Chains A and B, each alone.
Chain A
């Protein structure tokens, strides 16, 4: 019984209108676009086997690209297109969120629709097509009056498959900035909030079944002689879904602050903290969570989000592609100048750093006599290392390897939350963790010293978008956060959030503010 009384359920329910509405909008838009492109293509190519083969081949290839990658690929593509369009036509558009998600998902919808439409049309008894011509139908009449209605059950089956796929895959559009039911899943996985994960999956499945059911109703109606009532019912259901999904979007005010968060625990907590501060100051704010680290900065620069927390070293090395490592202060000065070129304000440091760090169990480290990365380098060939999905392709890893001549026996990629448990359990020997992570203390791990300073400093910095650069109310509301969070407090907050049982990211953010406020007194 306590399961259902868990406050996380009510929090999940509270977010449902926003997430579900966005999910419905993006899925149905993608499905509509997919249909609008695939159906005419299928009709045009139905008598052209060569073109048909090419088309189905392309659609099949698009289908084999994993959903997450397909969605992610559309982001840089649109970014480039938006830049070109701005240059040539003076018209820019947002490459963030809705548009890339719709395009990628539409591509996903194409294969089942194309294949079923072509199969359906080809499967018609040639004697009936001959009869259609024989009774005096033109080619177009034959298509409209005979071939299309006869192929419709197969075509509708394809549309239903596409609908289910698109609704399922749309959960992966969270990292490119499209709010969806995937927000539950990404946030839940990060903060070990299984209530959120379950809720997100169940909501997506329910939506998929509901849309499939409505389409089935329409299909049934189309197939049966007197099925107008069913068609109307199904169409009304879909229309109601669309209207309902638009309602919360329309109700939104324009003076709305959006706080971004990347895909890890600390980011969820900090974005909640910022949003809570703004709300407390009477500024309405929401968070946009689970954004990919490649997407979030562009989103800020384009004004899609208004503020977020990033890390000096990440921006310097990944965003601006500098390979040099500067001392902490020098880096912050250079970074602020570089950010200003893009109109972005470096509002200040929060007071802690979240750097990459090589971490291993304290007991094992002392047994092997390892205290620093230099010590580790000597033993590395016998050891294995795990990092998050981006670590091994980041410049820091290259810098580390070069500085210390690191060469590990084995190298694995892992979901960050599982990494600490894995190293504690001896699954891997070393992990590339984060200095602010609370799990370091929890699992009795040790951070190895980087004596050569190969890893750049990673001060957590609060960034403001160009259009909020001179927003005094915003600045006043956020000023108390500058320099207010030390590493120990952040670690504890992260530990609380990652645990899941002690509350949601929002709860932890409130706790964190209590700590900050207590110190100010």
Chain B
């Protein structure tokens, strides 16, 4: 029995910006229903990898296959409409209402108004946004609300793949935790494929099925959280040291507190 076809297949992809090689010969397969976190220091190429997947930029070499279709052969605009994307700190359109932001992709594909309106209501309920926020402008929302709108916007056209670029980075820890959990539940419920770029290792470990570690444009490790914690590579061990120490100290402190 052959393994099922991956949702996203990244094959020996490279991309340079001037003399800097942002993504260097990266190969990676992401399966149906999988939640993959991509971690690494800033400048490690993780955001470039994300932008390569929905053709916001084209690779210099290598190939990316989405659901069996070579992305170089498909229309990039149509491809992006099929893939949801959540941007760093939201990137909501400031001149549009919450509802207009959420309904933007269905509107681009020319869906009837009523269907879009129904879809907006459904999405707002899905990401737990109160209906009275519909007419608000992004600047009238809290950071957490904004990011929920961002998630709703990414999901509105019913994509099977969602790309997230440090989606919760700018939020306070509590909101961040709640939002992460809420999104993970949505991911499972809708059977999505999620690729989330983050610099927060703890978040990656807690939310993702698998973690990919990037370092200077190269993919240095891909594993599930448990195996990743046993990885002996020096860079990966350094990366995991901070959350591990934090967790141990927290565990000790909290244990004392309960006594």
Give chain A's interface residues, CB within 8 Å of chain B.
125, 127-128, 130-138, 141, 145-146, 149-150, 223, 225
- Is B67 on the interface with A (CB-CB < 8 A)? no
- Interface-centre pick from B80, B89, B92, B157 (highest chain A CB count, 10 A): B80
- Contact of A135 (CB < 8 Å), options: B94, B95, B104: B104
| Known contacts A128-B91, A130-B87: A136-B97 contact under CB 8 Å | no
Give the residues in chain B near A133, CB-CB below 8 Å: 56, 80
- Contact of B91 (CB < 8 Å), options: A131, A137, A138: A131
With the chains together, A468 CA to B91 CA distance in Å?
71
With the chains together, A213 CA to B108 CA distance in Å?
35
- Contact of B97 (CB < 8 Å), options: A131, A145, A223, A225: A225
- Contact of B105 (CB < 8 Å), options: A125, A135, A138, A223: A135
With the chains together, A133 CA to B81 CA distance in Å?
9
Within 8 A of A (CB), among B85-102: 85, 87-89, 91-95, 97
Q: Other CB < 8 Å A-B pairs besides A130-B87, A133-B80, 16 of them?
A: A127-B87, A131-B87, A131-B91, A134-B54, A134-B85, A135-B80, A135-B85, A135-B104, A135-B108, A136-B80, A136-B109, A137-B104, A137-B108, A149-B95, A150-B95, A225-B97
- Interface-centre pick from A136, A138, A149 (highest chain B CB count, 10 A): A136
Give the residues in chain B near A136, CB-CB below 8 Å: 77-78, 80-81, 105, 108-109, 157
- Contact of A134 (CB < 8 Å), options: B87, B89, B109, B135: B87
With the chains together, A255 CA to B223 CA distance in Å?
93
* Least distance between B107 CB and chain A CB atoms (Å): 9
Give the residues in chain A near B137, CB-CB below 8 Å: 225
With the chains together, A223 CA to B92 CA distance in Å?
17
Q: Which B residue sits closest to A222, measured CB to CB?
A: B95
Give the residues in chain B near A127, CB-CB below 8 Å: 87-89, 91
B93 touches A131 (CB 8 A): yes
B95 touches A141 (CB 8 A): no
Question: What is the total of A-B residue contacts with beta carbons within 8 Å?
Answer: 56
- Is B210 on the interface with A (CB-CB < 8 A)? no
With the chains together, A130 CA to B89 CA distance in Å?
13
With the chains together, A125 CA to B87 CA distance in Å?
13
With the chains together, A133 CA to B97 CA distance in Å?
19
Give the residues in chain A near B85, CB-CB below 8 Å: 131, 134-135
* Least distance between A218 CB and chain B CB atoms (Å): 16
How many residues from B make CB contacts under 8 Å with A?
A: 24
- Is B46 on the interface with A (CB-CB < 8 A)? no
* Least distance between A230 CB and chain B CB atoms (Å): 16
Residue interface mask B155-199, A partner, CB < 8 A = 1? 001000000000000000000000000000000000000000000
Q: Which A residue sits closest to B107, measured CB to CB?
A: A145
Q: Which B residue sits closest to A138, measured CB to CB?
A: B77
Give the residues in chain A near B88, CB-CB below 8 Å: 127
Give the residues in chain B near A132, CB-CB below 8 Å: 93
* Least distance between A123 CB and chain B CB atoms (Å): 13
Give the residues in chain A near B157, CB-CB below 8 Å: 136
A130 touches B56 (CB 8 A): yes
Give the residues in chain B near A150, CB-CB below 8 Å: 94-95
Smallest CB-CB A-B distances: 7 pairs: A136-B81, A131-B91, A134-B85, A136-B80, A127-B91, A149-B95, A135-B105
With the chains together, A225 CA to B95 CA distance in Å?
8
Give the residues in chain B near A130, CB-CB below 8 Å: 56, 87, 91
* Least distance between A150 CB and chain B CB atoms (Å): 6
- Is B215 on the interface with A (CB-CB < 8 A)? no
* Least distance between A220 CB and chain B CB atoms (Å): 14
Q: Which A residue sits closest to B101, measured CB to CB?
A: A135
With the chains together, A190 CA to B58 CA distance in Å?
70
* Least distance between B229 CB and chain A CB atoms (Å): 33
With the chains together, A40 CA to B97 CA distance in Å?
28
Q: Which B residue sits closest to A152, measured CB to CB?
A: B95
* Least distance between A223 CB and chain B CB atoms (Å): 8
- Is B153 on the interface with A (CB-CB < 8 A)? yes
* Least distance between A224 CB and chain B CB atoms (Å): 10
- Could you write out 22 A-B pairs with CB less than 8 Å apart? A128-B91, A128-B94, A130-B56, A130-B87, A131-B85, A131-B87, A131-B91, A131-B92, A131-B93, A133-B80, A134-B54, A134-B56, A135-B80, A135-B104, A135-B105, A135-B108, A136-B81, A136-B105, A136-B157, A137-B104, A145-B93, A149-B95
A135 touches B97 (CB 8 A): no
Give the residues in chain A near B105, CB-CB below 8 Å: 135-136
B153 touches A135 (CB 8 A): yes
Give the residues in chain B near A138, CB-CB below 8 Å: 77
* Least distance between B108 CB and chain A CB atoms (Å): 5
Q: Which A residue sits closest to B85, measured CB to CB?
A: A134
Within 8 A of A (CB), among B69-85: 77-78, 80-81, 85
Give the residues in chain A near B80, CB-CB below 8 Å: 133-136
Within 8 A of A (CB), among B136-156: 137, 153
With the chains together, A149 CA to B96 CA distance in Å?
10
Give the residues in chain A near B108, CB-CB below 8 Å: 135-137, 141
Give the residues in chain B near A141, CB-CB below 8 Å: 108
* Least distance between B101 CB and chain A CB atoms (Å): 9
Give the residues in chain A near B94, CB-CB below 8 Å: 128, 150
Give the residues in chain A near B109, CB-CB below 8 Å: 136
With the chains together, A212 CA to B87 CA distance in Å?
39
With the chains together, A146 CA to B104 CA distance in Å?
11
- Interface-centre pick from A131, A149, A225 (highest chain B CB count, 10 A): A131
* Least distance between B75 CB and chain A CB atoms (Å): 10
Give the residues in chain B near A145, CB-CB below 8 Å: 93, 104
Q: Which A residue sits closest to B80, measured CB to CB?
A: A136
Give the residues in chain A near B95, CB-CB below 8 Å: 146, 149-150, 223
Q: Which A residue sits closest to B79, measured CB to CB?
A: A136
Give the residues in chain A near B97, CB-CB below 8 Å: 225
Give the residues in chain A near B93, CB-CB below 8 Å: 128, 131-132, 145-146
Q: Which A residue sits closest to B154, measured CB to CB?
A: A135
With the chains together, A137 CA to B108 CA distance in Å?
7
With the chains together, A145 CA to B54 CA distance in Å?
21
With the chains together, A134 CA to B157 CA distance in Å?
13
* Least distance between A37 CB and chain B CB atoms (Å): 27
